[in-house]
Structure 1
Amino acid sequence: MHNNQRRRVVITGLGWVTSLGHDVKQVWADLLACKSGVHAIERFDASAYPVRFGGEVLNYQPRNIEKRDAKRLDRFAQFALDAAVDAVKDADLDFAKENSWRCGSIIGSGIGGIEEFEYGHRKLMEKGPDRLSPFMVPKLMCNAGSGNISIHFGIQGPNNAVASACASAAHAIGDAANAIRYNAADVMITGGSEAALTPLGLGCFVALKALSRRNDDPTHASRPFDKDRDGFILSEGAGVLILEEYEHAKARGANIYAEFLGYGQSADGSHITAPDEQGRGAAYAMQAALEDAGHDPADVDYINAHGTSTPLGDAAETRAVKRLFNDDAYKVAVSSTKSMTGHLLGASGGIEAIITAKAIELGCIPPTANLDNPSEECDLDYVPNEARQLDVKLAMSNSFGFGGHNVSLVLGKI
């Protein structure tokens, strides 16, 4: 199917679970107000760790899942299903009225059910193999999010999971959009979920020396593009969107937030954790997404940056924008909302696609919080510390992951 025969894809529903809350409107308002969801860890004793804070979803109880069912889901799958139910409600979708074979789900997760893995391993060591749960495999597998969503709604179309570290959700959204574009589905539930803020998860990222150690001031620890940035903040949650074929959405009178226009991907092919310092892979993914969307860099009003607050990553992404946008690099508004949410790993692309869609819908760009002293190599317009009113017609959301994965999504005003 050639580009001119591709079906149009729109976003009709949004749902998320974040350390700032679960209500999309409320969390959006908090982001515009520069509020942080980063705080001291409460779910387990982190006193022995050099990092004792993160973007934890405090006092989480599944809102849309029966207690009995919730017990059979790892925390990451609970997040995914909760956010999916909210997104379906927001889209005012009734799957009983849909062709179930034309509705699907693709949900990304970088790590999957690590909490269940930890619990099961502890049981194995303490009580032996006979005490392992038959639910362990279905709880820890990376596709538990997408699988349980399809079961919950009885949908039977394209269904899979993407695991590409911090690019997982963005890959999932791009793949889900293509399922609709190329006529494999009419409706897709997509995004990402992650719950790696566990004793083992935190310990692993500490060992990698990837995290900020600003224990004395967690809310200001995530400071993308700032000269004092010292690593990312490990967070958890989920971001789920409803993608729908345009005519299908119009026929049922759906509310449309934005149109999905482009999907670009690449690999750095250079290092398993460090980005290409020149940003070549990232620039290629952005260029591919714009070409897919049929637009030029000069058309872009806003970039929701990957912007994790790591010394190497933020500089590389800045170089990538300059490499592709040339003189227009200084005209485009760029912000990193991880400055407030922290880094949700495989869920971040889902959260940030929602934020990008809201920026288009409401004509407002969320700020980069804690950007007090931009580092020398980071000299673009990062919308520091204050939201900005702007008629956003075309926006881009970037997600880059360990493994050298680069994904860029382009959304536009309908």
Structure 2
Amino acid sequence: MVVTGMEVLAPGGVGTDNFWSLLSEGRTATRGITFFDPAQFRSRVAAEIDFDPYAHGLTPQEVRRMDRAAQFAVVAARGAVADSGLDTDTLDPYRIGVTIGSAVGATMSLDEDYRVVSDAGRLDLVDHTYADPFFYNYFVPSSFATEVARLVGAQGPSSVVSAGCTSGLDSVGYAVELIREGTADVMVAGATDAPISPITMACFDAIKATTPRHDDPEHASRPFDDTRNGFVLGEGTAVFVLEELESARRRGARIYAEIAGYATRSNAYHMTGLRPDGAEMAEAITVALDEARMNPTAIDYINAHGSGTKQNDRHETAAFKRSLGEHAYRTPVSSIKSMVGHSLGAIGSIEIAASILAIQHDVVPPTANLHTPDPQCDLDYVPLNAREQIVDAVLTVGSGFGGFQSAMVLAQPERNAA
């Protein structure tokens, strides 16, 4: 299964080229929140996208109908299909499918509409007559997949995968399985989230998961650094066109990377807590490597979840050691959340894009803001500056509330060429 098209909308610049420029230069896109007045919140920083839907071809009716996260997904899907060179009008629509991941759905629109129907929270019994006519679309995240399916003319399987912060990995993994089992020939897959809203900030404030370092927003996201104190909320999307390798070769498509292996596991332990030994993530990594028929020593780079919380960073460090053994100490690891923040369900797909681009350019993106390594995180986290090296295979992982642990292996397709 291979990626033949992709598009990324991420903090720091819309478009895959802008995204890679940010990562390879080690720049950060975190800043003080501008979407609303954050004065009442403990954490007041985020990684926002400067996004004008009209400039990206959306009509006034589409903007009115779609939540910001859905707008992201449609713009990215259009770009990914164009990038793939596929003419979807010439394909059997029943053989084209869509999977979109999202952790929190249409949060921004729901937040805004609740404020209206409750008269800014003053009404215990809300007045539904003030609701947006598209309020129902915001309640059902499946509307994201509907919008993308409508755009590309997909009449095959269409769904939203919502598994917390692993949604972006799991939606692509599910799409691969649908092609493999013969249900679809082409899948448009990825994830989107636009969660920077008062309700989301309040929720993460309550559990002290986000950083209070609002006096230095550019350097607030510090995965694996001993001075880290929480993650920076972000937003964005990445969408891919997936198809079978030989089919892509027959039509002369550009092949970005092979999705060689994928697995997901649950820790069945705690809604937000993680076992310190990283056993479940290590199991997902091992199964993904087995599916890819690769030894741990074949991994050239690990794109970490790297949220910037002490619990997560130490948990996945343990998982890398448990699954890769001594090779973990020889493998560069980095977290792009240090630059683009944590966009919840979308980040897994955005990190897949970063992994593919690392393979394409033979460059490992850095972990920005890593000046004082946590002694308990003792691997090679590529601090501050990108590193040029051969990258033929990448392991990317995700960890989500609810105990979800997912892993994917991406590789140069020539690795399995005859």
The TM-score, its normalising length taken from structure 2, stands at 0.95
Which whole-Å CA distance do the structure 2 matches of 1:42 and 1:161 have between them? 29
1:183 equivalent to 2:182? Answer yes
2:123 corresponding residue in structure 1: none
The yes-or-no answer on 1:363 pairing with 2:355 is: no
Percent identity for Structure 1 against Structure 2: 38
Counterpart of 1:263 in 2: which secondary structure?
strand
Q: Are the counterparts in 1 of residues 14 and 51 from structure 2 also a CA contact under 8 Å?
A: no
* Alignment match, 1:117: 110
Question: Are positions 1:95 and 2:56 aligned together?
Answer: no
In 2, Cα distance between equivalents of 1:185 and 1:304: 29
Map of 1:403 onto structure 2: 402
Aligned to 2:36: 44
Comparing 256-265 and 138-147, the one that deviates more:
138-147
- Distance, in Å, in 2 between the alignment partners of 1:33 and 1:292 is 33
Residue of structure 2 in register with 1:240 after alignment: 239
User: What's the counterpart of residue 78 of structure 1?
Assistant: 71
- Which consecutive residues of structure 1, in runs of 5 or more, have no partner in the other structure? 1-8
Structure 2 distance, partners of 1:76, 1:149, is 12
Check the 8 A contact 1:398/1:408 in 2, yes or no.
yes
Letter in 2 for 1:213: P
Query: Deviations along 1:5-29, whole A, 9 cap, x unmatched?
Result: xxxx111111111111112112201
Confirm or deny that 1:316 pairs with 2:309. Answer: no
Contact 1:72 1:139 in 2 (8 A): no
Q: What CA distance in whole angstroms lies between the structure 1 residues aligned with 2:369 and 2:115?
A: 39
* One-letter amino acid of the counterpart of residue 23, structure 2: L
Amino acid paired to 2:62: D
Return the alpha-carbon distance in structure 2 between the equivalents of residues 91 and 218 of structure 1: 36
Q: Which residue of 2 aligns with 1:4?
A: none
For residue 406 of structure 1, report the CA deviation from its aligned partner: 0.6
- Residue matched to 2:150: 151
**Residue matched to 1:225:** 224
Q: How far does residue 59 in structure 1 lie from its aligned partner after superposition?
A: 4.8
SS of residue paired to 2:233: coil
Distance 2:107 2:24 in 1: 32
- Residue number in structure 1 paired with 2:166: 167
Is 1:387 aligned with 2:379? no
Q: Answer yes or no: is the 8 Å Cα contact 2:53–2:71 preserved in 1.
A: no
AA of the residue aligned to 1:71: R
Hey, what does 2:98 align to over in structure 1? 105
Query: What is the rounded CA distance, in whole Å, between the counterparts of 2:51 and 2:346 in structure 1?
Result: 19
- Give the letter for the 2:315 counterpart: A
1:146 to partner: Cα distance? 1.2
State the partner residue of 1:23: 15
Match of 1:189, SS state, is strand
AA in 1 matched with 2:194:
A
Q: Equivalents in 2 of 1:108, 1:61: separation in Å?
A: 20
Map Cα deviations across residues 357-392 of structure 1 (whole Å, 9 max, x no partner). Answer: 111111111011111111111010111111111111
Normalising by structure 1, report the TM-score: 0.96
Do the aligned residues in 2 keep the contact of 1:74 with 1:140 (CA within 8 Å)? no
1:130 paired residue number: 129
Q: Is the partner of 1:179 in helix, strand or coil?
A: helix
Question: Match for 1:105: what amino acid?
Answer: V
Q: Deviations over 1:229-261 (max 9, x none)?
A: 110000011111111111221122111111110
* 2:303/2:334 contact within 8 Å kept: yes
Of stretches 251-260 and 346-355 in structure 1, the one that deviates more from structure 2 is 251-260
Q: Deviations over 1:194-223 (max 9, x none)?
A: 011011111111112100111111111111
Find the aligned partners of 1:49 and 1:59 in 2 and give their Cα distance: 24
Q: How far apart are the structure 2 equivalents of 1:57 and 1:131?
A: 29
- Post-superposition offset of 1:278: 1.1
CA distance in 1 between partners of 2:406 and 2:336 (Å): 17
- Number of residue pairs the alignment of both structures matches: 406
Give the aligned partner of residue 3 of structure 2.
Answer: 11
Q: Post-superposition shift, 1:60?
A: 3.5
Cα distance in 2, alignment partners of residues 59 and 156 from structure 1: 29
* Offset at residue 123 of structure 1 (A): 2.7
Would you say the 8 A contact 1:116–1:140 is kept in 2? Answer: no
**CA RMSD, Structure 1 to Structure 2 (Å):** 1.2
CA shift for structure 1 position 45? 0.8
